[in-house]
Amino acid sequence: MSVDKDTVRRIAKLARIALDEGRVEPMTQELNGIMNWAQQLNEVDVTGVMPMTSVVAQKLKMRDDIVTEGGNADALMTNAPGGEDHFFVVPKVVE
């Protein structure tokens, strides 16, 4: 895929970037270089390579899913500016 001057102007307009006419040609060459580099990545054989989420292998720390301080609704509601029947009362946002 190659990028032409009209495409660069359209991308600049969509991105709301002010692009002088003198910068259109250099930007076209730069974007074409980026597209060519990205196309080279398609030539790499990645069969058998597992997808990565991080460069360093990490394992999340797991903990038991237990309630540590439950049943304190009254204490919680003392900090609320308004409450009713153990629920927070907030202003209506959507009509």
pLDDT, tens digit (0-9, with 9 covering 90-100), for 15-39? 999 999 999 999 999 999 999 999 9
Listed residue (10, 43, 16) closest to 28, CA to CA: 10
Domain range enclosing 21: 5-41
Query: 57 in helix, strand or coil?
Result: coil
Bigger pLDDT: 59 vs 24: 24
| Dihedral over Cα of 28, 30, 31, 32: its sign | positive
pLDDT class for 71, splitting at 50, 70, 90?
A: confident
Evaluate whether residue 65 is within a structural domain: no
Q: Is residue 48 part of a domain?
A: no
Distances from the Cα of 88 to the Cα of 80, 93, 95, angstroms: 7, 14, 19
Residue with more model confidence, 5 or 66: 5
Flag whether 36 is in a domain: yes
